[in-house]
Structure 1
Amino acid sequence: MDTETHIESVPPGSARERLLNAAEALIYAGGIHATGVDAIVKQSGTARKSFYTHFGSKDALVAAALDRRDERWMNWFIAGTQRHGKTARKRLLGMFEVLREWFASKDFHGCAFLNASGEIASADDPIRIVARKHKERLLAFVRTECDELAAESGMDARRAARLSRQWLILLDGAIAVALVSGEPDAALDAQAAAQVLLDAECASESGTPPRKRPPSRRTAT
């Protein structure tokens, strides 16, 4: 199955686009420090002069590639989430179904933005800034769904804001566990934890006991 992460080895397009595609593919698979400019230029099929003309430095190229990936990844994740139901609850829980499809793909190497942040020490580095912007965008999307849930359930805005932050931790935690373990079903474990959290928040708001949690759909090992 093709995923949002798929990049052709030598894609068509302008020299700038080919450099961005090559940088994203190589860095996502192998890391920033392990990927040299020569490898990027070679895979892009461009001249080294094009690299300096369009970007000037490896860090500038990496930041631009991540910025473009942020847009594509968010569009993919939002569209996938919206296909999982007409209520906010179904869409929030559906986020983990979207992640599981990604985890099961052959080109899954974790979160490109968390990976990049782990290699860059300075919080003011342009690469870290792009990574931070991505997580802010993801949190903002989750918050819109939590606000919808609040409107559906009567949850107050403070609880919705807290729930969105907790949800982001569950999403990123699932990504990290899936990367290290190689198990796509890490998404289902996170989904089960998310459902418990969701039930507890809604029950606390309404004063009713939490609903009984259904058995996990995680594949037995």
Structure 2
Amino acid sequence: MATNTTTERTLAPAPAPSARDRLLDAAEALIYAGGIHATGVDAIVKQSGTARKSFYTHFESKDALVAAALERRDERWMNWFIAGTQRRGTTARKRLLGMFDVLREWFASQDFHGCAFLNAAGEIAFADDPIRVVAREHKEHLLAFVRTQCDEFVAESNGDAKRAARLSRQWLVLLDGAIAVALVSGEPDAALDAQAAAQTLIDVPSIGKRDASASNKASRQSSSKPPPSRRTAT
């Protein structure tokens, strides 16, 4: 009797996670929920279900484990955020504003504890620490993705191409600001407040130009006036 190998492969159980993966899973979960300094190696080993020897086999230190866990989270989080953003619309404007809807869903989830990378960076004093480096690289990855959407938005709206770089940096501030406010306040709608500010930012681009124009005009008027006389009244 012929064997249905396709069905057998489909029904075959997935391979069990390796000891290294279990350590990474445990480290990420515990550190995200409780912080780096509050989480010890023993707790990570216990939750992972591995032997302490496995920890030293795969990682030279707790910091190395944390950095590796954050690197893996960066890839997974970015894939999730990009996919969610892409589903929000067919235009760059809809996708940019839709980023805040994606965040709101995250904020409303039971396991939301803020940005793991901002949290980690806040616990590490030195800028060149591997953990801080991973956190900084995550923000660079996020900014790069936002920049692609800003480039498309500027092209769609026939705007100044130079605006995209500034807009992407401002957008990152709004995204991170929404995450921070949602963490502290416990209010998922912080994402909608940031979205409203973002909408103003892209729909009223001339505000900054008017302010700059007014400032330049005032400067020119001031410089065109003759300097005050130094003669004293007699």
- Specify if TM > 0.5: yes
Deviations 1:79-109 (A, max 9, x none): 0000000000000000000000000000000
- 2:119 aligned with 1:119, yes or no? no
Q: 2:63 aligns with which of 52, 59, 65?
A: 59
In structure 2, the residue matched to 1:142 is 146
Structure 1 residue 154: Cα displacement: 1.3
Structure 1 residue 202: Cα displacement: 6.6
Structure 1 residue 129: Cα displacement: 0.3
- 2:2 aligned with 1:31, yes or no? no
In structure 2, the residue matched to 1:154 is 158
In structure 2, the residue matched to 1:103 is 107
Q: Does the CA contact (< 8 Å) of 1:153 and 1:202 recur in 2?
A: no
Deviations 1:42-93 (A, max 9, x none): 0000000100010110000000000000000000000000000000000000
CA distance in 1, matches of 2:178, 2:20: 34
Deviations 1:7-38 (A, max 9, x none): xxxxx400000000000000000000000000
In structure 2, the residue matched to 1:75 is 79
In structure 1, the residue matched to 2:18 is 14
Q: Which runs of 5+ in 2 are unaligned?
A: 1-15, 210-234
In structure 2, the residue matched to 1:40 is 44
Identity of paired residues, percent? 85
Q: Given residue 85 of structure 1, which amino acid in structure 2 is its aligned partner?
A: G
> 3-state SS of the aligned residue for 2:142?
helix
TM-score for both structures, normalised by structure 2: 0.81
CA distance in 2, matches of 1:38, 1:188: 40
CA distance in 1, matches of 2:72, 2:86: 22
Q: Given residue 95 of structure 1, which amino acid in structure 2 is its aligned partner?
A: M
> 3-state SS of the aligned residue for 2:45?
helix
Structure 1 residue 203: Cα displacement: 7.7
Q: How does 1:164-183 map to 2 (within 5 A)?
A: 164-183=168-187
Taking only aligned residues, the RMSD between alpha carbons, in angstroms, comes to: 1.4
Q: Which runs of 5+ in 1 are unaligned?
A: 1-11, 206-221
Q: Given residue 80 of structure 1, which amino acid in structure 2 is its aligned partner?
A: G
The list of structure 1 runs, each at least 4 consecutive aligned residues, that deviate by more than 2 angstroms after superposition, is 202-205
